[in-house]
């Protein structure tokens, strides 16, 4: 199972979903689903934009859990 760490990362950086959506151009609903870990599908473009914006690697955004 994949775990999305977006909520933790955004909390550490004190970012709001609306800020990230505005700054990245990513749909707010997409970010909300990732934040709440309810997203079942995410485009690679979205992951790339988030990683660049948050200045993190993919392995920091997603982790494989047993």
Q: Which domains does the chain have, with CATH numbers?
A: 2-64 (1.10.260.40)
pTM: 0.91
For position 56, what pLDDT does the model report? 97
Work out the widest C-alpha separation in the chain, in whole angstroms. Answer: 34
What is the enclosing helix (H) or strand (E) of 2?
strand 2-4
Which of 7, 3, 2 shows the shortest CA–CA distance to 36? 7
For position 53, what pLDDT does the model report? 98
For residue 66, name the pLDDT band (cuts at 50, 70, 90).
confident
For position 12, what pLDDT does the model report? 97
Q: What is the pLDDT of residues 1-53, one digit of tens each?
A: 899 999 999 999 999 999 999 999 999 999 999 999 999 999 999 999 999 99
């Amino acid at each position: 199972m994949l775990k999305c760490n977006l909520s933790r990362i955004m909390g550490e950086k004190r970012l709001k979903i609306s800020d990230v959506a505005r700054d990245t151009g990513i749909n707010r609903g997409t970010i909300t689903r990732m934040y709440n870990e309810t997203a079942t599908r995410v485009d690679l473009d979205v992951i790339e934009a988030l990683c660049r914006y948050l200045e993190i690697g993919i392995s920091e955004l997603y982790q494989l859990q047993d």
